[in-house]
Amino acid sequence: MESKADVVIVGAGINGCALAYEVAKRGKDVVILEKNYIAYGATGRCGAGIRQQWSTKENAMLAKKSVEIFERLSDELGHDIGLRQGGYLIAIHDEDEMKQAKKNVEMQKSIGLPVRIIYEDEIKEIAPILNPEGMNAIAATFCPTDGHANPFKTTYAYAKSAERMGAKIYRFTEVKNIKTSDKKIEKVVTNKGEIKTEYVVNCAGAWSKEIAKMVGIEMPNKPVRKEALVTEPLKRIFDCMVISFKHGIYFSQQEEGQILGGIPSPEEKSGYYTEPTFSFLKHMSYMLGKYAPPLKYVNILRQWTGFYDVTPDALPILGKTEIEGFIQCNGFSGHGFMIAPMTARLLAQLICNEKMDMSIDRLSQNRFKEKIIKEKSVVG
């Protein structure tokens, strides 16, 4: 293993790999340390939906700018990332949700997103499989440029491109400690040796809190367990991702035809356990049947568990900290795949002292010392 590097990234999920690519592209020596394997964390367990419809401008801008990158990414990286833009259809269940939806749409349109409110006829036109009555939906919002990419193909495309530019990715290499002196990063201690560096970037997902503790930083993030399932493949029925903030359900049809989705389990317990539960399976099957009745007859092939890394306002924690050289890139609260391309670009600009395309000052951990504005457009 290298004895020194300009930048050490902890975690080889989508964020670690995308950042390694962006930093290596700028000529720096980059090392990723991953305690398991590429995409072991939330990245390899996610729905990989790409949604620009948020209630906060920060999330909406990060997602919009990321979509612009996603649209060119297969060409840029030389690997197909499986991007499909079938839109996101977000159910509106009552007048309160309608009020919030109208506010969201106004802000989203002001930044140039082609989002609109649609009613029963158009819901059925966009996804004939849906039953608005069973969904208890009075309307929906729809953004046609939202979509989905393959999380494995995207992460590996970034990882391979980073390696091509000289980045090193050490699998099964666990960060055990980070040494500082005078509040400045000095070196990273792993189970395979030590690396001297000026920058450590905390891309450790649901384990970020443990990494931050190594330099004496307490974080407010909480790991939240989430289950997901996938069915047998079907011929193409619909192109959009369907979601509901009220019911917490989301599902879409994958490129190969399977339906993939999730919903909060009614008997959820907290903790890092990964065993699948029958209560999730039962609840998800029931709700899928309500939303899209023909899916009642489809076989479920597999279910699994992953962890959201949730902050008190459901916005990520990005940027510099009180420890010089310790950079945060976590707290993605269930939407860290879709905003990874822009996040990586911004953090690379920060590390390389370039002019940043967008300010991330409001996303630093310092915001929790003041009154926070919560992101409202989240699935529970």
Ligand X SMILES: Cc1cc2nc3c(=O)[nH]c(=O)nc-3n(C[C@H](O)[C@H](O)[C@H](O)COP(=O)(O)OP(=O)(O)OC[C@H]3O[C@@H](n4cnc5c(N)ncnc54)[C@H](O)[C@@H]3O)c2cc1C
Contact residues: ligand X, CB under 6 A: 10-16, 33-36, 40-43, 45-49, 174-175, 203-207, 211, 226, 228, 262, 306-308, 330, 332, 334-338
From the list 226, 217, 237, the residue with the least C-alpha distance to 304 is 226
CB atoms under 10 Å from CB of 297, counted, come to 7
For the CB of residue 133, give the shortest distance to ligand X in the complex, in Å.
26
- Rank residues 74 and 98 by Cβ distance to ligand X and give the closer one: 74
Instruction: Kindly write down the DSSP assignment for every residue of 186-229, as one continuous string.
Output: EEEEETTEEEEEEEEEE--GGGHHHHHHTTT-----EEEEEEEE
- Rank residues 10 and 137 by Cβ distance to ligand X and give the closer one: 10
- Rank residues 43 and 258 by Cβ distance to ligand X and give the closer one: 43
Whole-angstrom Cα distance, residue 329 to residue 363?
10
- Rank residues 152 and 368 by Cβ distance to ligand X and give the closer one: 152
For the CB of residue 132, give the shortest distance to ligand X in the complex, in Å.
23
From the list 302, 299, 290, the residue with the least C-alpha distance to 129 is 290
- Rank residues 203 and 363 by Cβ distance to ligand X and give the closer one: 203
Indicate left, alpha or beta for 144 from its phi (over 0: left) and psi (-120 to 50: alpha). alpha
For the CB of residue 206, give the shortest distance to ligand X in the complex, in Å.
6
CB atoms under 10 Å from CB of 8, counted, come to 27
For the CB of residue 24, give the shortest distance to ligand X in the complex, in Å.
16
From the list 95, 13, 121, 100, the residue with the least C-alpha distance to 53 is 100
For the CB of residue 375, give the shortest distance to ligand X in the complex, in Å.
13
Amino acid at 137: A
58 within 8 A of 363, measured Cβ to Cβ: yes
For the CB of residue 48, give the shortest distance to ligand X in the complex, in Å.
5
- Rank residues 82 and 336 by Cβ distance to ligand X and give the closer one: 336
How does DSSP classify residue 70?
H
Whole-angstrom Cα distance, residue 345 to residue 18?
8
- Rank residues 178 and 295 by Cβ distance to ligand X and give the closer one: 178
For the CB of residue 270, give the shortest distance to ligand X in the complex, in Å.
14
